[in-house]
Amino acid sequence: MKKVLVRAPLLSQSGYGVHSRQIFRFCESQKDWSLSTQILPWGITPWNINPDAEDGIYGRAMSLSVPASEKYDVSIQIQLPHEWDNSLAKFNVGITAGVETNKCSAEWVDTHINKMDLVIVPSKFTKKTLENSATVKLTTPIVVLPEAYFDELLEEPTADPLENLSTNKNFLMVGTLTSDDSAADRKNLAASIVWFLRAFEGKRDVGLVVKTSRGRDTTIDRDLVRKMMQQVKKSSGVDEKRCPKIYMLHGSMTREEMRNLYKSKKICAYASATRGEGFGLPLLEAAVSALPIVATAWSAHTEFLEGESFLAAKYDIKPIAQSRIDGRIFVKESCWANPREGNFSRKMKLAVSENKKLRKVAKSLSSSLQKTHSMSSLQDKFNEIVKEYIQK
C-alpha cells in the first residue's frame, strides 16, 4: 500500500474547497492507497464540519486527519504554489488553479513548480499562464485535469426556491466578492449589477438573483453585502422607480439547494462579467443545467462553453488594479479582461428576447458536458494521470 497524504482545504466552503473534495474522492478510489489528510484553511471562508454532509465526505476527511509528521510515498497538495512543501513525500503533486491573469509570479514557476514532481491544473488557461511566466526551463510536467459538476445536478428539482418571485425572467449571478474596490474585484460583481440595472431599466418582469458573500456566512457579512448592493444600486444612476428587481441570496447552500436554484423556472439565464477564471465551476454548473450564459469571452471557462447558448461578451485586456498587486500572487505585469458594458448589456438583452431558442440550444451543450465533465469521466482521467506519472 502506498501511504498518501492529501493536504488541502477539505472543509472550506469555497471554490478551492470544492476542488479539494473532488480530488479527495478521486484519491479514495485508488485501491492501493492508504490515505491521510492534513486539513488547511482557505482565506476567511467558513468550514463545514458536519460529518454526514455530501455523502459523508467531510466526516471521512476529518477521520483521516493527522499531523504531517512522517514521510509519505505520495503527497497531493491543493494550494497556491508558494505553499507547497516538497519534503512531505517521495513523490509530491501540487494542484492549483493558479491566478486568473495572463501572468503570475516567476517565483511560482521557477522555484515552486520546479521543486514538485508533478503539477495538476484545471484548465489550459492556467497552464499557459504558468508556462508564460517562467524565466528558467520548466522541469516539472504540468497536466490539465478539469473540475467536475456535482452528480445531483442531473436530478430533477425537488422544489422551486424562487417560485414566489414577482419577476418571471431572472438572471442568476454566483460569486464571492473578492474586493471592496469594484475595479479590483475579479468577479466584477458590482459592475455586473450596474450593467443589468441600466440594460433593463423600466422592465418590471426582468430580475436579477445574486448569490454572494464577502467570504463568511455570518449575519454581519450578510448585512455588509446588502449595504454594498444598495450602494451599487444608487451608483447605477437608474431612478428608483424604474429599477428592475434584485434579489440577494447569502450563505452556504447544499448541492440539492444549488440544483434547485439553477433549475428554477424563474431563472432564464446565467450572467458573469468576470475578469478571469482559473476554471469557473458555477459557469460549468449553469451550462450543465442548460441555461444560456452571458459571460466574458476570456479565460478558462471558454474551454468548455461553446455554441449559440454561450453569449460571449467582448472585452479589453487591461492591467489589473494597482491595489491587487502584492508581488506574490498578483504581479505588476499581470493583466485580465475588462468586458465592455455595451456589448455585455446587448448579450443580456438577447438572452431574454431569444430565450426560448437559446434554451433549446443550451440542452445540446448540457448533454455534451454531462459526458465530458462528470465525476466518473474525470475520475478516469485522474486514474490515467496516476498510472502515467505516480505509479510508473
Residue pLDDT, tens place only, 11-67? 999 999 999 999 999 999 999 999 999 999 998 888 999 999 999 999 999 999 988
Alpha helices in 41-123 (DSSP H): 53-63, 106-107
C-alpha separations of 244 from 270, 378, 382 in Å: 16, 41, 45
Assess whether 235 and 289 both reside in one domain. yes
Contact 91, 117 (CB under 8 A): yes
CA pseudo-torsion sign 364, 172, 47, 77: positive
Assess whether 198 and 324 both reside in one domain. yes
Assess whether 365 and 382 both reside in one domain. no
The residue type of 171 is F
Assess whether 58 and 161 both reside in one domain. no
How far apart CA 60 and CA 56 sit, in angstroms, is: 6
* Enclosing domain of residue 22: 2-148+374-390
Local confidence band at 200 (pLDDT 50, 70, 90 cut-offs): very high
Assess whether 328 and 361 both reside in one domain. yes
Contact 193, 341 (CB under 8 A): no
Average of per-residue pLDDT across 299-322: 97
Assess whether 204 and 250 both reside in one domain. yes
Assess whether 329 and 379 both reside in one domain. no
Assess whether 269 and 168 both reside in one domain. yes
Q: In this predicted model, what pLDDT tens digit does every residue of 341-368 receive, in sequence order?
A: 999 999 999 999 999 999 999 999 999 9
The predicted structure's pLDDT at residue 44: 83
Assess whether 199 and 278 both reside in one domain. yes
Rg (the chain; Cα; Å): 21
Average pLDDT, the chain: 94
Assess whether 121 and 166 both reside in one domain. no
For the chain, what is the domain count?
2
Average of per-residue pLDDT across 165-179: 91
Please tell me what DSSP assigns to residue 159.
-
Query: Would you call 67 exposed, middle or buried from its count of C-beta atoms within 10 A (0-12, 13-18, 19+)?
Result: exposed
